[in-house]
Amino acid sequence: MGTLNPISDGDDERTELQRLIRRLDPDPENAWQKYRDLRERLVKFFQWNQSQDPEESADEVLDRVGRKPDEEEIRNVAEFVIGVARNVLREGYKKSQRESHIDGWEGGGESLAEPRDREEEIVSGLDHHTRLEALRRCLEDLKPEERSLAIDYYSAVEEKQKEHRRKLAAAAGVTMITLRVRANRLRDRLENCVDNGLHARRSQARPLDT
């Protein structure tokens, strides 16, 4: 992509990252945004493909793309990333198959997590109210028009959802797709806000380790 200065031998992680960034866009600001977007998509790709560690796998893809020497031209970064992502996914499957085989002999590693999951579920049942209060607080932090959109968009039951959202889009003077993307960005913000609020609360409640 464009003219790139060759990177000298002895590349470290930083130079790999710099190389990747430059491959994404010649403008550094755009490139960082593209990097964040790409990483987000890769994390979801691995999540949707039931990878054991989506974040780590996404970083592995980006590392590999960054490690590719400048001399080897990448005509289409997106296509190249997709190919690398599929390779990492396949390797992950093979690795987890091997591990589950070994776990099977040892009594199953993941299955040990189940009793803790059940306990977690009981505890989480108790924090429904806390979560509700956290969401109320997060809604309060939104601008009035954002709050209205979040509430209106998600208030319809499934069978009336399409018509309801069509009316909302018409009222806002935007397409259904634009409205959907806006509402989901708001939802992401709210979900992160609730998670952060709960995390902060748990951190405060947890006694300090001595």
Partner 1 sequence: MTNNGGLMRRYLLGTATEAERIAVENDYLANGEAFHQLKAAENDLIDSYARGELAIAEKEAFEKRYLTSPPVSTRTSAQGRSRVKFASVLREITKEAALSPSPKEAGILEKLLAMFRAASVSPKWRLAAACAIVLVGGLISLKVLSHRGGGPSEASRHPDRQQSNHPGPAEHANEPGAGTESGTPQIVARNDEPAAHDFTAQLEPDAARAVGSGLQTLAAPSHTAWLNLGVVVDEDEARPLAAVVETPEGNQVFRTDRGELTTSQRGRVLHVRVPAARIPAGDYILEVKANDETVASCSFRLAYK
Q: Letter for the amino acid at 71?
A: E
Which listed residue (16, 22, 23, 42) binds partner 1 by CB under 8 A?
42
Residues 101-130 that bind partner 1 (CB under 8 A): 110-111, 113-114, 117, 120-121, 124, 128
Is residue 175 involved in binding partner 1 (CB under 8 A)? no
**86 CA to centre of own chain:** 17
Q: What CA–CA distances, in Å, run from 35 to 20, 61, 80? A: 8, 12, 14
Please name which of 16, 13, 103 lies closest in space to residue 52, comparing C-alpha atoms: 103
Residues 65-84 that bind partner 1 (CB under 8 A): 78-79, 81-82
Tell me if residue 7 falls in helix, strand or coil.
coil
Is residue 30 involved in binding partner 1 (CB under 8 A)? no
> d(Cα 210, Cα 120) in Å, to the nearest integer?
24
Q: What CA–CA distances, in Å, run from 210 to 94, 206, 207? A: 42, 12, 9
Give the nearer residue to partner 1 in terms of CB position, either 13 or 55: 55
- Only one of the segments 2-10, 22-30, 148-156, 201-209 lies at the binding site for partner 1 (rule: CB under 8 A); that segment is 148-156
At closest approach, how far in Å is the CB of 90 from partner 1?
A: 13
> d(Cα 162, Cα 171) in Å, to the nearest integer?
14
Is residue 29 involved in binding partner 1 (CB under 8 A)? no
Give the nearer residue to partner 1 in terms of CB position, either 7 or 93: 93
- Only one of the segments 6-14, 24-32, 46-54, 201-209 lies at the binding site for partner 1 (rule: CB under 8 A); that segment is 46-54
Our CA angle for 52, 54, 58, nearest 5°, is 135
Q: What is the helix (H) or strand (E) element at residue 156, kind and residue range?
A: none
> d(Cα 22, Cα 31) in Å, to the nearest integer?
7
Q: Letter for the amino acid at 17?
A: L
- Only one of the segments 1-9, 21-29, 66-74, 143-151 lies at the binding site for partner 1 (rule: CB under 8 A); that segment is 143-151
Is residue 52 involved in binding partner 1 (CB under 8 A)? yes
**What are the residues binding partner 1 (CB under 8 A)?**
37, 40-42, 44-45, 47-48, 50-54, 78-79, 81-82, 85, 100, 110-111, 113-114, 117, 120-121, 124, 128, 131-133, 135-136, 139-140, 143-145, 147-148, 150-152, 154-158, 161, 177, 180-181, 183-185, 187-188, 190-191, 194-195
